[in-house]
Amino acid sequence: MKVIHFHRKTDGHMWSFEKLFAEIRQYMPADISVELLKMPCLSQGIFKRLRNTWFATFHQQATVNHITGDIHYIALSLKKNKTLLTIHDLGFMRQYKGIPRFLLWLFWIYLPVRRVRYVVAISDATKKEIIRYARCKVDKIRIIPDFVSPRFTFVPKDFDAERPVILQIGTKFNKNLERLFAALEGIPCRLVVVGELQKHQDELIKKHQIDCENKIGLTEEQIVACYCACDIVTFCSLLEGFGLPILEAQATGRSVITSNCSSMPEVAGGAAVLVNPTDIESIRNGILSVIRNQDLRDSLIVKGLENVKRFHPQQVAEQYASLYREIGGE
């Protein structure tokens, strides 16, 4: 069986979707041959997106066409019964208003969902969002989670209770850094933020007098090293389609503080301190509880290492393979 993975064109970096499916292809069963097809244009502006859609029309020579993320609109040119769409999250619907929001809803959610055989959601929270916005039948959506890369392995570390290193992955609007900075004020620690900080975020770091190191453009090996060097991982987002840093931290053997909403409790699996991301005091108390309580830290690490066993790339690849066979058989 031949499957085509339709990938977006990137700016030279291999981002999360691309890393995810590159790993999945390595674990794909022998009876399924997967070909990678990248779009010719970045997904920017009307004409480049039209060219991507036109390009996809003439390259659907497979049993299954799989749109792996972001370029949902190319589903409009693919054969419905042979096409699968993975939706990672719909956070953009809360980021835009007016006509831009309507166009995103129409061409990234409503029409694409109707133009494919199945939709894959990476979490139950994402599935509920898809049903809410696309108004589609529940049985059209399958849940296949993301996974933690085998590159993230357990690395023991003596916890620095005097001045712990706190790692924060991501700086986008949903990562809730403004409240995290406020929660950290007065707590002796060193914050390491991976991702480019905005000017107003830099100003808040100075305002709250936080010892902060900002790292950008890291390789995966450098990101792994960041997890190994830290004591705590914070991921107090307002919204996540999945929340991969939770698993990466657990696999490394680090205590995790994350939000009690969206997909994060589902992914954390009872192996994280859950906080209210809209409440600065709740975030602060969660951080302090981990710093001050060794038994809690030990428990989180043990539970975290057990939780990540649910998210192995081979299991995820097998779930996709099963869905490919189902579509191919139909």
The 10s digit of each residue's pLDDT in 227-254 is: 999 999 999 999 999 999 999 999 999 9
- Give 165-310's CATH code, choosing from 1.10.3720.10, 3.40.570.10, 3.10.620.30, 3.40.50.2000: 3.40.50.2000
The CATH code of the domain at 2-146+312-329 is: 3.40.50.2000
The 10s digit of each residue's pLDDT in 64-113 is: 999 999 999 999 999 999 999 999 999 889 888 999 999 999 999 999 99
Contact (Cβ atoms closer than 8 angstroms) between residue 204 and residue 178? yes
What is the SS3 assignment for 70-127? CCHHHHHHCCHHHEEEEECCCHHHHCCCHHHHHHHHHHHHHHHHHCCCEEEECCHHHH
What are the start and end residues of each CATH 3.40.50.2000 domain in the chain? 2-146+312-329, 165-310
For residue 79, what are the CA distances in angstroms to 61, 62, 68, 303?
A: 10, 10, 16, 44
Contacts of 176 (CB under 8 A, 6+ apart): 236, 237, 238, 259, 277
Lookup result for tokens 């995790």: 256
pTM comes to 0.90
Lookup result for tokens 């694409």: 112
In degrees, rounded to 5, the angle at the alpha carbon of residue 86 between the alpha carbons of residues 107 and 310 is 150
List b or e across 88-114, with b for residues whose CB sees 16 or more CB atoms inside 10 angstroms.
bbbbebeeeeeeeeeebbebbbbebbe
**Stretches in the chain below the pLDDT threshold 70:** 12-15, 330
252/224 Cα distance (integer angstroms): 8
